[in-house]
Amino acid sequence: MHDIRAIRENPAAWDAALSRRGLESQSASVLAMDEERRAAIHAAETAQAEQNRASKEVGKAKASGDEAEFERLRALVSAKKAEVAEMQAKAKELDSQLTDLLMGVPNLPYDDVPEGADEDDNVEIRRWGTPAAYDFAPKEHYQLEGVQKGMDFETAAKLSGARFVVLSGAVARIHRALAQFMLDTHTEENGLTETWTPVLVREEMMYGTGQLPKFGEDSYQTREGWWLVPTAEVTLTNIVNGLTVDEDYLPRRYVAHTQCFRSEAGSAGRDTAGMLRQHQFEKVEMVSVTHPENSREELDRMTGCAQGILERLGLPYRTVVLCTGDMGFGARRTHDIEVWLPGQNTYREISSVSVCGDFQARRMNARFKPGAGGKPDYVHTLNGSGLAVGRCLIAVLENGQQADGSVKLPEALHPWLRGKTTLTADGDLV
């Protein structure tokens, strides 16, 4: 959420930053509501002071026997009490309206985020690996002979509908091994703390990380009011919800492997074949909670963690900075990592790493106490996939495919497969 004081102090700068996202100026409406809210608060405080003064005089009038003055003052106290209640209710309602308005405004991009309208304007900043050359036409993951036995979309459709899959046998084993490989690498080499969190969360947690109120249609809600997490970003970031921690508590670096759930609203007709875009999928998610001075450096560190997984697996990728028109709602800068998929002959997103500044922290009221003293300040938060497990499975299968329908598996993954190196064309691990 945005700092109303910063908007008051420099509304032009706030509007200019929003315009880079393609949004119209909003400071005038925000400040008008803020002014009305502050006027109601002032009126309530003034009426309260007048009520307090009149209350003190009531006793004096009673003691002096001045019945007329006593009745006048008592009536005044009653009127002021009603006025205070009315002004407080008005101020509370305006405060709620202002909060709702600011909750729906996206974060401001950093100055070095490239200007642009959509993904065509994203800027590549790194490329690693060379896509393999094949002496046959490479297939997509679900077309590979060795994969078809263990990737069942028909049964999943019977169980749940479109955009679900049942994995079994060797394919399920490789999928699990990838998640374990990611977790072990992040905890043992990258210094992240492994965390296991719920996949059902309270509504206020979704507000805290920015999935609500604007993007409710992208997620699933139960009849009891819980929300299914679209990513473990929700739970990991909200660990500090409502807390004021000591400065030496920072940074906190978490990683979790969870099921994730997304309705894929608005994606009808996109990536309907295979398991690239599913309603239920798994991710290994990274979240960092940092001191404000260190968050930009942390963005590069987290990006390196995600890139390192792909490099260990020998999967070619490129990293791009998202332009202002393609950034997510809560981000100030985002690095997308796109892995090479030979079956599609293109790069596809496998990780998105974002720094949010204090945007989420304000929504969560998450602060830290400076070690040198002074007022508590908001922490900064970051999140990123490390990686999307299903998409990593797709990349491993497609990049390792052989002419006979088998798949050579990355050497880095062999220890998590008990030495198995190949998915055969018959769908077995050997």
Whether the bond into 213 is cis, omega within 30 of 0: yes
What does the DSSP 8-state code read for residue 192?
A: P
For the question of residue 318 being annotated catalytic, the response is no
Length of the chain: 430
Question: Binding site membership for L-serine: which residues?
Answer: 231-233, 262, 285, 383, 385
What distance in Å separates the CA atoms of residue 372 and residue 339, rounded to the nearest whole number? Answer: 44
Q: Which of 262, 332, 333, 363 is catalytic?
A: 262
Q: Are 214 and 329 in contact (CB under 8 A)?
A: yes
Q: Which of 20, 21, 333, 391 is catalytic?
A: 391
What distance in Å separates the CA atoms of residue 324 and residue 20, rounded to the nearest whole number? Answer: 6
Question: Binding site membership: which residues?
Answer: 231-233, 262-264, 285, 349-352, 383, 385
For the question of residue 349 being annotated catalytic, the response is yes
Residue 32 CA from chain centroid, whole number:
30
Q: Which of 219, 352, 354, 406 is catalytic?
A: 352
Q: Are 208 and 269 in contact (CB under 8 A)?
A: no
For the question of residue 301 being annotated catalytic, the response is no
What does the DSSP 8-state code read for residue 238?
A: G
Q: Which of 277, 296, 318, 362 is catalytic?
A: 277
Number of other residues whose CB lies within 10 A of the CB of residue 61:
18
Question: Binding site membership for ATP: which residues?
Answer: 262-264, 349-352
* Beta pairing, strands 227-228 & 346-355: unpaired
What distance in Å separates the CA atoms of residue 92 and residue 131, rounded to the nearest whole number? Answer: 59
For the question of residue 57 being annotated catalytic, the response is no
Residue-wise DSSP of 108-146? PPPTTSPP-SSGGG-EEEEEES-PPP-SS-PPPGGG-HH
DSSP H or E stretch at residue 320: strand 317-321
For the question of residue 37 being annotated catalytic, the response is no
- What residues act catalytically? 262, 277, 349, 352, 391
